[in-house]
Each structure stands twice: as C-alpha cells, then as structure tokens.
Amino acid sequence: MTDTKGKVVAVNGNMVSVEFDGKVSLNEVGYVKVDGKSLKGEVIRIRGNTAQMQIYEMTNGISTDCTVEFTGDLLSVEVGPGLLGQVYDGLQNPLPLLAEHSGYFLERGVYLPALDENKKWEFTPTAKEGAKVMAGDAVGTVPEGPFTHKIQVPYGFLGTYTIKKIVKAGSYKIHDTIATLVDEKGKSHDICMSFKWPVKRAVNCYAERLMPKEPMVTKVRLIDTFFPVAKGGTYCIPGPFGAGKTVLQHTTSRNADVDIVIIAACGERAGEVVETLTEFPELKDPRTGRSLMERTIIICNTSSMPVASREASCYTGVTLAEYYRQMGLHVLLLADSTSRWAQAMREMSGRLEEIPGEEAFPAYLESTIASFYERAGIVKLRDGETGSVTIGGTVSPAGGNFEEPVTQATLKVVGAFHGLSRERSDARRYPSIDPLDSWSKYHSVIKAELVEYARSVYRRGAEVNSMMKVVGEEGTSLEDFITYLKSEFLDAVYMQQDSFDETEGATSIERQKYVFGKVIEILGSSFSVKEKDEARTFFNQLRQNFIDMNYKVFQSAEFKAAEKNLDKTLKDHGTELGEEVKALLKDGE
C-alpha cells in the first residue's frame, strides 16, 4: 500500500468516484473499505484530484463515508510455475479454493493467492554466477506437467544484470529466493520463481517479431483447408446463439497443434462455462493420452462479479499466454465472447458520460479491440527459440447480424473470419461455418489453386441451388443439376465433420491432402449419366461410400476397402477427369 488515501464522493453502479490526496496512476489498483471488507477496483480515469474506479465486486453498501486505499500497483497477474490446470476468475483468484472458502455464493472482498505458496518445485539452475542476463532470460527450470517451465528474470527489470548468486538444484517454494542479481549501478535484487506483471502492458522481451506463416493445424477440414489459421495469427468466430461456437472452440482446443490452451470465458456465465468446467477435466489429450487440463488454463467470470470483470478476463488470459510464449511454447487463447466485453465497455462508457459512438458503444471500441488482438504473434526469442500466441475470439451479434459494431471492429484486425450460419446450424451441418461468407488471409495446408477450384464449384452449385428455388428442379439443365450435386457432395463429405467420432472428428494434414485430392478428382470429372434421377442416385451412393471411408482409420485395411468401393462406383459410371483438374493435380504433386 502507498500513503495515498481517498474518499468516495459518488457511486454509479460499479463505478465509484474518489477524491484523493497524493499520487494516483491510471490502471492503479485501489481498495474501497466497506462493511469491514476491502473491495478491489481499478482506476480508469483521473480528473484533477478525482479518480473514477471500476469496482470488481458488487458495490452494495458503498457510501460517501467509505475510504479508499491505493496500492501503487497496476492491475496485474502473478506468473510462475503452477498455472497450468488452474481455473481462475477474471482477477486470477482460483475458483475451487474460493468455493471452499465461501461455498456456493462467493463472498465479496475475498482474494486468494493465484499460485500455491507451499508447494515445492524441483529447480535446476541453467545460468551460472557471473553471467549477464536481461529481462526474460532464463536462470533455471522446473518441470510443470508435460513441459519444462523456464524461470525467467522478471520482465520489469531494465538493462543488463550480473548473477551474483544462484541456488543449487533442489526443492524450493515459489517465493524462495533462487538468485541474486546486481544491476549496472551495483544494486542487488533478489528474485524468486514468480513475479507480477501488469495485464494491460504487452510483454516485449524478445529479439524479433516474425510474420505468421506456419499453419496452426486444428484437424477441422473446413478450417485447415479453406479458412486456415496461422500460429501467431488471429481469427474470429461470429455467429448467432446456438450456432456451435462453444463446440467448435472445444474441438479446436482439443486438437489444435499448440502446446497450451487458455480459455477466457469473458462473457458466458451460464451453460457454456458449466460445460467447459465439467468436460475439460474429462477430455483426453490426443497428444499425451492424459487429461487435457494438464496443459489448459480456464479463466471465467462468476455470477457474483459485475460486468467490468469481463475486461479483466481478456487481459488476464492474454498476459498468461505471453508468459508461456516467452518459454518458446505455442499458446492458443480462446476468448468467449468478446461481445460481452464490448457491452461492459459500453456500460462503463455510459457511466463516464463519454460521447457515444455507433449503437452507443464507446468511440474507442475499435482501438481497444485492435490493441487486444495485436498482442497475438509469433516471436523469435533471444535464445533462438520461437514462441507464439494465437488469439481466437467469438462474437455473439444480436440476431446474427454481422454488420453490428463489435463484429465489424473485429473483422478489421483479424486474419481469418469463420462466420457461423444459422441456416447451416439448423440443417445440422457441423461445423456451421458459412463457406461463402468466411475468409482467411493465411496459407492453406492444401495447394491454393486446388482450394480455389473447389470453392468455385461450391459457389456455382450454390447459385444453381438458389435458381432451383425459383424455377424448380425441372427448369434446371442436367449440367447445372450435376454442378449442384457436386457442391452438395463437397459439403457433405469434406466440409462437414462428425466431432463425436474419434477418427472422423480429427483429420490429420496427411489425410486431408490425400482425401482432398480424391474430392478434387470427383469435382473435376464428367460422368455418363443421362437423367437427373440417375445423377441423384449416383451422387448419393458416391457420398455414402466417401463417408464410410471418412470413418475408417487412415490407410487401414478397412479404409482401403472403402476406397476400393468408391473407385468401383466411379468406374461403373464412366468417370472421365477433365483436363483443367489433371493439370492442377499434376502441378500439385
């Protein structure tokens, strides 16, 4: 705590105006004293000697008689070994321990240590006495789950330091001194295995920021092939309620080619959070065969916290992601849903009496969203390793209207757009990403020309489908009807995926390339069918043969048998591959 004190002069919802005497900084943490409790808040605006604070608790009972104590510290999280597998609220309080302390209804004013202060970790020094180090450099390691956790010099240390003393290998608690550093002025600094870092300040302790190029494989065919995401990239998943955003996030977090998954449930207070908390500990990690929670951190709001905590959840999540990125790990941050965060900003902006922007959102909505997503990226560390933070945010526009401000502000800064469709969701076409509206700026795992050819077939088929709704099937030529059947075939056998099946729910890149090649051959072929009923029967059989193959383990005897049946069906109908596709497939070899 500092000597700066304050007194509450006004209360407006969860915003409190405080007159102070001394020095106060923006984003500084202060505690309002009420009913024998200290309620945590953050300074969001300063006017003269009056500070507006957003309080992260219910403000019942706060009056002009209440005093405020300022800490001098910015809103921060504690980083160190022991984060993985934890479930936190937006202020990094461990929810299981809060529940033990308070029961079903969490008490306000209760703040618990984010990390276990009594657990001992097996520390192994990697730096020697006399070595020169800087902020972010590793001085030792401890094992944490399946990873080697690097103990780093705190990010707030400026300049070069000399290691004066470092402990020997052994068991230590996170707050035990493990090294003594001497700065350029000769002053000594003791460091331990944990430290705090402000959540609204990006971590920049790296050598170089790189262009995201390497695909982040999700094993969802529609994403990896048509709308890919790069490691260190950004993407958003807007869609109406019930369109499958949460299911898609669960599938991605289970199968994504990343080391660590952080879920920031910044706006979902009901079924989605309960589902996440109950399912994740039961999910098996395909990479290790152990619990997925061993490499997952969940951050979620509770019903007893006001809307301001939604913002804290997002920043807490991205700060923890940057911390593990500094160890040379690849991290995926899933924010669900940023619409709730934006609504919290709108609410607070109204209480601050700021000039509103479109739909009463604050005028700085776009810049705030951009500053969050720009903390994604892939970086080269000073030791030569690379680490990345990939950010995927869901948006819940009212009525599925993608023209609303939050969706539009997000689209301006992300690298991929996975727009969910109510029509596809109602038709049980999973994932319900609309192939016509979605896009990606990143490179696909499949050759670009082949992907574009498949897209063109799908677009033409969608046009024929729209035309048939007007003129009917009888008013459509056989050639157009076959184009429509090809687009439906592509949708059914490749774009749709059964997430509940172990084999079909996760398609490796090797399998995607192989299967997509066979899909392209079918899309680019002509068939000896004379009438529409015959064409429909043929494509139904073709689709069933292909789906049977999708459920078989890749290159197993069952897979090859299903593939043989598929080839027989094609041969029986005089399949002839077009010259355009022949050239594309030849160039792609």
Q: Which of 75, 106, 130 is the last residue of a domain?
A: 75
* 285 and 418 assigned to the same domain: yes
Report yes or no on 148 lying in a domain.
yes
Please say if the pLDDT value at position 272 is more than 70. Answer: no
**Residue of 300 and 268 predicted with greater confidence:** 300
What is the C-alpha to C-alpha distance for residues 300 and 271, in angstroms, rounded to an integer? 12
Residue 270 binned pLDDT confidence (cut-offs 50, 70, 90): low
Q: Based on the fold, state whether residues 387 and 245 are members of the same structural domain.
A: yes
For 546-570, what is each residue's pLDDT tens digit? 999 999 999 999 999 999 999 888 8
Residue 542 domain flag: yes
Whether the per-residue pLDDT at 210 is higher than 80: the answer is yes
Q: What single DSSP character describes residue 399?
A: G
**Of 77-86, 90-99, 257-266, where does the model show the most confidence?**
77-86
Place of tokens 């005093």: 67
Q: What's the mean pLDDT in 575-581?
A: 77
Note the pLDDT of residue 286: 75
Mean pLDDT of 199-228: 95
Residue 258 in domain = yes
Alpha carbon distance 182, 173 (integer Å): 22
Residues 127, 53 share a domain: no
Q: Do 511 and 436 share a structural domain?
A: no
The gap from C-alpha 139 to its chain's centroid, in whole angstroms, comes to 30
Do 355 and 419 belong together in one domain? yes
Provide the domain limits for residue 390.
Answer: 208-440
**Contact in structure between 523 and 492 (CB atoms under 8 Å):** no
Is position 127 annotated in a ligand binding site? no
CATH number for position 570: 1.10.1140.10
Would residue 112 count as lying in a domain?
no
Over residues 573-589, the mean pLDDT reads: 73
Residue type for position 1:
M
Query: According to the model, what pLDDT value does residue 268 have?
Result: 57
Q: Is residue 545 in a domain?
A: yes
Q: What is the pLDDT of residue 230?
A: 96
pLDDT tens column, 167-177: 999 999 999 99
Last residue in a domain, options 163, 193, 223: 193
361 appears as a binding residue in the annotation: no
Q: Between 372 and 499, whose confidence is greater?
A: 372
- One domain, residues 345 and 214: yes
Share of the chain above pLDDT 90, in %: 73
Looking at the structure, tell me whether residues 280 and 409 fall in a common domain. Answer: yes
User: What's the CATH number where 12 sits?
Assistant: 2.40.30.20
pLDDT greater than 80 at residue 306: no
Q: Do strands 330-335 and 386-395 pair parallel, antiparallel, or not at all (unpaired)?
A: parallel
DSSP tag of 226:
I
169 annotated ligand binder: no
What is the count of structural domains for the chain? 4
Tens digit of each residue's pLDDT (9 = 90 or more) over 45-67 = 999 999 999 999 888 899 998 99
How many Cβ atoms sit within 10 Å of the Cβ of residue 273? 21
Q: Domain check: are 45 and 160 in the same one?
A: no
User: What's the mean per-residue pLDDT of the chain?
Assistant: 91
The mean-pLDDT minimum among 136-150, 215-229, 515-529 falls in 515-529
Query: Domain for residue 104, yes or no?
Result: no
Q: Is 246 annotated as a binding-site member?
A: yes
419 within a domain of the structure (yes/no): yes
* pLDDT for 588: 54
Whether the per-residue pLDDT at 245 is higher than 80: the answer is yes
pLDDT surpasses 90 at 536: yes
Q: Count the alpha carbons within 13 Å of 280 in the hemisphere toward its beta carbon.
A: 26
For 310-342, write each residue's pLDDT tens digit.
Answer: 788 899 999 999 999 999 999 999 998 888 889
Predicted local distance difference test score (pLDDT) of residue 254:
85
CA distance 418 to 422: 13
Return d(Cα 20, Cα 1) in angstroms, integer: 14
Mean per-residue pLDDT for 7-12?
95
Same domain, 177 and 260: no
User: What value does the mean pLDDT take over residues 384-407?
Assistant: 91
Q: With bands split at pLDDT 50, 70 and 90, how would you rate the model's confidence at 355?
A: very high
Residue, of 272 and 539, whose pLDDT is higher: 539
CATH of the domain at 151: 2.40.50.100
CATH code at position 346: 3.40.50.300
Query: What pLDDT score does 182 carry?
Result: 96
107 confidence band (pLDDT: 50, 70, 90): confident
pLDDT band of residue 271 (cuts 50, 70, 90) is low
From 13, 48, 75, give the residue that closes a domain.
Answer: 75
Quick: pLDDT tens for 451-507.
Answer: 999 999 999 999 999 999 999 888 899 999 999 999 999 999 999 999 888 899 999
Asked if pLDDT for residue 575 goes beyond 80, the answer is: no
pTM of the entire structure?
Answer: 0.94
pLDDT higher than threshold 90 for residue 69: yes
**Are 425 and 550 in the same domain?**
no
Question: Alpha-carbon distance 289 to 505, whole Å?
Answer: 16
Residues 217 and 244 in one domain: yes
The pLDDT score that the predictor gives to residue 473 is 87
Examine the domain organization and report whether 187 and 269 are in the same domain. no
- Residue 240 known to bind ligand: yes
Residue 105 lies in a domain: no
The answer to whether 244 is annotated as binding is yes
Contact 437, 419 (CB under 8 A): yes
pLDDT confidence of residue 79: 97
Cα separation, 518 vs 401, in Å, equals: 37
